[in-house]
Amino acid sequence: MRPAILRERDVPIPLPDGVVLRADVYRDPAAGPRPVLLQYTAYDKSNWASVYGVINPERAVDHGFAVVVVDARGRFRSGGDEPFRPFARSGEDAAACVAWAAAQPWSSGAVGMYGASNNGVPQWQALRHRPPALRTIVPHFTAPEYGAGWVWRGGAFRLGFNLWWSLANLAPDQLRRAIARDGAAAHEDTARALARALRDPDTALRSLPLTDVPALDGIAPHYREWLEHPPGDPYWDELGAGDAVAATDLPVLHVAGWYNVHLDGNLAAYEAIKVAGGPAAERQRLIIGPWTQWSPALFGDACGPERRFPAAIDMEGLQLAWFARHLAGAADPGLPPVRVFVMGVDEWRDEQEWPPARARATPWFLHSGGAANTRHGDGRLAPEPPEGPQPPDTFRHDPRDPVPTRGGATYLPNPAANSGPMDQSTVEDRDDVLVYSSDPLTAPVEVIGPVRAVVHLTAGGPAMDVTAKLVDVHPDGRAFLLCDGIRRVSAAEVAAAGSEPVRAEVDLIATANVFLPGHRIRLEIAGSSFPAYDRHAGTADGIAATRGDLRPALRTVFHDARHPSALVLPVVPAG
């Protein structure tokens, strides 16, 4: 018989500094003390189903847990008058919530945390405070470090994600709270600007300078703060949780997606715990599916009109079994150390480690006769390195007409049309995109692990961006994006190289895919991917460029014996 479920709304959780958070509590009033599942959320506790991978509190009660879902400080029903600042104070507040939950008469004293995306942040941050009652965490589609990865990547600002997330997910509640505090008249201009930006996000994304975002004025100061602090700035040390992650002794279930915007952060956290070699190293598990930030199914052209993929799993059930094991001593759910979904053959694989030890970093070298522009050019990708001279390839980067982002690991408006393995053919028809393709394969090539590109190029200006994409080209010509990356080459690097090309290594993060017979492996090289990343102005480093500062520049990619540019793939040997 299903237990009765008591739903208590807006339960107060007092914090040491006097701020009161509000929680919704789900429990069986007839049951004795039970382990507690806690989610600390910036996304409205009453809307627990807003992010894939979270747990239905009522199902959790059915499985023997109590559930506490807390609005974060400064969000929705919780107190805290200062504007919400992502990452700040979430660890100490989450730790206080863990202690509160453990002390309740209906609690067994064992607490596990769960949640996806930004709701994973307080899980990592809580490790900095290590509440004794916290026994395990399940960070889902998230990251513990924020300067290099979440906000910036490869030195470029993650414009689409940072701005759209701030506008669509954070600003509306921040505006509501500001109006309640100060009156509507005080925020009339911001309200109008936010309405325009949500109605026409493309115009908001193209606005320059990047710091000019009237829709966030007075309600979301974090956005300008992020722009003022590049990766490596001490500002990020205060907010990250890297040291605590490496030192943790807790069992961790990492859940990641090939097309999730935080894949790099998920993998870095797993690797940090593994390298530290502490007790958590053998107690962590990693699952990587072909998921976007938005869905258990894979968006993108590769999925057909049904938008389905044979990769959806019972994520709730899996998490509940994990929590039963680590909070209540139930049977081990039997997860392998690593489970990945391999695209191309569309099947799950169990691995003993990440990355798989049997995968070998294998270069595929760039070749051409100097005309690799567009998919109709002469760019080739081959295992054989170049011998002697080869003419370089040149393209014109124009920040006034940047190469558009099409799919991939994005967080942009209209996610079904902007996420996942989208066909790159229209992008590859642009003259400012260099395309290098292998011959049609005669045997499968299995790739599982980290992907990178090494590109030797000159800037034609004081600094530059270089982007790289790994693409699976089907026999019918459709070209599906697997993973991509960007590298911002600074003015200092260009100057240091002098007359020589800069050697730029581009991190494409990782993938798992079998390139089938008849398919081709493809690498795209360009100077922008907009609006996923801010466009390089073509003049110098920095985020203060206005529209009048945008300057076209020639980029030249070298791939001769002295400058062997290559795509480096983690190839799994056959058999």
Write out the DSSP string of 166-202: IIIIIHHHHHHHHHHHH-GGGGHHHHHHHHHHHH-HH
Residues 6 or more apart in contact with residue 101 via CB below 8 angstroms: 36, 38, 66, 68, 107, 111, 133
> Do 170 and 86 touch, CB atoms closer than 8 A?
yes
Residue 545 in 3-state DSSP?
coil
Residue 476: per-residue pLDDT: 96
* Cα separation, 195 vs 203, whole angstroms: 12
Q: What is the DSSP letter of 427?
A: H
* CB-based burial label for 349 (10 Å; 0-12, 13-18, 19+): middle
Which CATH architecture best describes the domain 360-572? Sandwich (2.60)
Distance CA 444, CA 472 (A): 12
Q: Which of 162, 285, 303 is nearest to 222 (CA)?
A: 162
Separation in Å, CA 222 to CA 155, 451, 471:
19, 32, 35
Count of CB atoms situated within 10 Å of the CB of 499: 5
Ranges of each domain in the chain: 6-148+236-351, 157-229, 360-572
pLDDT the model gives residue 306? 47
Paired tokens of 137: 């965490």
CA distance 342 to 288: 9
Distances (CA, A) of 442 to 343, 382, 445, 480, 519: 18, 13, 9, 19, 9
Q: For residue 233, give Cα distances in angstroms to 155, 230, 239, 247.
A: 12, 6, 11, 23
Outline where DSSP puts E strands in 313-359.
338-342, 347-351
Asked if 111 and 135 touch (Cβ cutoff 8 Å), the reply is: yes
Distance separating alpha carbons of residues 285 and 334, to the nearest angstrom: 10
575 residues of the chain, pLDDT tens digit each: 566 899 999 999 999 999 999 999 999 999 999 999 999 999 999 887 655 457 999 999 999 999 999 999 999 999 997 899 999 999 999 999 999 999 999 999 999 999 999 999 999 999 999 999 999 999 999 999 999 889 999 999 999 999 999 999 999 999 999 999 999 999 999 999 999 999 999 999 999 999 999 999 999 999 999 999 999 999 999 899 989 999 999 999 999 999 999 999 999 999 999 999 999 999 999 999 988 877 655 656 666 544 445 556 888 899 999 999 999 999 999 999 999 999 999 889 999 999 999 999 999 999 999 999 999 999 999 999 999 899 999 999 999 999 999 999 999 998 777 889 999 999 999 999 999 999 999 999 999 999 999 999 999 999 999 999 999 999 999 999 999 999 999 999 999 999 999 999 999 999 999 999 999 999 999 999 999 999 999 876 678 899 999 999 999 999 999 999 999 999 999 87
Q: How far is CA 264 from the centre of its chain?
A: 6
Question: How much is the pLDDT for 540?
Answer: 66
Cis peptide bond upstream of 139, omega within 30: no
Report the pLDDT value the prediction gives residue 554, as an integer from 0 to 100: 96
Strand order in the sheet with 34-41: 6-14, 20-27, 66-71, 34-41, 107-116, 134-140, 253-259, 285-292, 338-342, 347-351
Torsion (CA) 287, 292, 297, 298 in degrees, nearest 10? -110
> How far is residue 66's CA from residue 102's CA, in Å, rounded to a whole number?
11
- 3-class secondary structure, 57: helix
Tell me how far apart the alpha carbons of residues 565 and 382 are, in angstroms, rounded to a whole number.
11
Predicted local confidence at residue 301, as pLDDT: 66
Concatenating the DSSP letter of every residue in 319-332 gives HHHHHHHHHH----
In whole angstroms, give the CA distance from residue 71 to residue 40.
6
Take residue 474 and report the two structure tokens written for it: 């089907």
What is the C-alpha to C-alpha distance for residues 464 and 541, in angstroms, rounded to an integer?
8
Are β-strands 134-140 and 107-116 bridged in parallel, bridged antiparallel, or unpaired?
parallel
Two tokens, residue 118: 């930004």
Which CATH code is given to the segment(s) 6-148+236-351? 3.40.50.1820
Residues 161, 163: Cα–Cα separation, whole Å: 6
How far does Cα 79 stand from its chain's mean position? Answer: 29
Q: Which two tokens stand for residue 564?
A: 């062997």
* Helix segments in 20-120, DSSP class H: 57-62, 90-103
Q: Where are the alpha helices (DSSP H) in 200-234?
A: 201-206, 222-228
Report the run of H or E that residue 355 belongs to, with start and end: none
347-351 and 380-382 strand pairing: unpaired
Is 207 in a helix, a strand, or coil? coil
- Mapped onto helix, strand or coil, the DSSP state of residue 434 is strand
Sequence-distant (≥ 6) Cβ neighbours of residue 98 within 8 angstroms:
38, 111, 113, 126, 131, 133, 134
Cα atoms in the Cβ-side hemisphere of radius 13 Å centred on 551: 15
Nearest of 4, 104, 131 to residue 62 by alpha carbon: 4
